């Protein structure tokens, strides 16, 4: 079965993550692909941001969104973004990082969380590889079932798709 979202029209998909070094600031990274399975990776980006807001429970997006927007600036070919985290935080659609990124970019955003969030009872559990621990998939601008299908088909044989693992590694790497 083919993933429901395609970038075959020449658009790009991005898997993104942000890291906060002990020295301060943030590093946002993206793995860019010509397909939603991320089997045709065409590039990567890393952007350092000198200042970020402190972490606030319930308002994670205030810290994470600015570095992601800085890193994705000028990427006009984007058709889909996959974030490490939740798109929305409850069945009523309380916006999380992914929904706020969707509102800024106007393109579908898939949230892939590694742990359950107590109010995100609507998240679709997705098992990948041989893991017995699911990922929790939510989406903004795309049906959750379609988003879960995209995550199931993303390249990599491990629990976390290769593109998200690579974005994490890129964000953590020192310059």
pLDDT for position 173: 92
pLDDT for position 3: 40
Please, what's the largest Cα pairwise distance for the chain? 45
**Spatial CB neighbours of 111, under 8 Å, sequence gap ≥ 6:** 83, 85, 86, 87, 88, 96, 97, 98, 123, 136, 137, 138, 139, 140, 147
pLDDT for position 55: 78
pLDDT for position 54: 80
pLDDT for position 6: 45
pLDDT for position 175: 52
pLDDT for position 5: 44
The domains of the chain are located at: 12-172
The DSSP output letter for 87 is S
Q: Which has the closest alpha carbon to 141: 78, 87, 96, 77? A: 87
CATH of 12-172, one of 1.10.760.10, 3.40.50.300, 2.40.30.260, 3.30.2170.10: 3.30.2170.10
pLDDT for position 37: 97
pLDDT for position 60: 75
The list of the chain residues with pLDDT below 70 reads 1-10, 58, 174-175
């Amino acid at each position: 079965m083919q993933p429901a979202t395609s970038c075959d029209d020449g658009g790009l998909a991005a898997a993104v993550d942000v890291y906060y070094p002990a020295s301060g600031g943030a590093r946002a990274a993206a793995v860019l692909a010509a397909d939603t399975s991320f089997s045709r990776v065409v590039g990567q980006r890393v952007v350092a941001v000198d200042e970020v807001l402190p972490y606030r429970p319930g308002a994670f997006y205030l810290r994470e969104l600015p570095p992601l927007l800085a890193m994705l600036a000028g990427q006009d070919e984007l058709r889909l973004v996959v974030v490490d985290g939740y798109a929305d935080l409850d069945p009523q659609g309380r916006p999380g990082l992914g929904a706020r990124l969707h509102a800024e970019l106007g393109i579908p955003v898939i949230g892939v969380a590694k742990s359950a969030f107590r109010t995100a009872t609507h998240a679709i559990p997705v098992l990948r590889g041989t893991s017995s621990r699911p990922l929790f998939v939510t989406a903004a601008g795309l049906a959750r079932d379609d988003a879960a299908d995209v995550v199931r088909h993303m390249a990599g044989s491990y629990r976390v798709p290769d593109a998200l693992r690579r974005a994490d590694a890129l964000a953590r790497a020192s310059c």
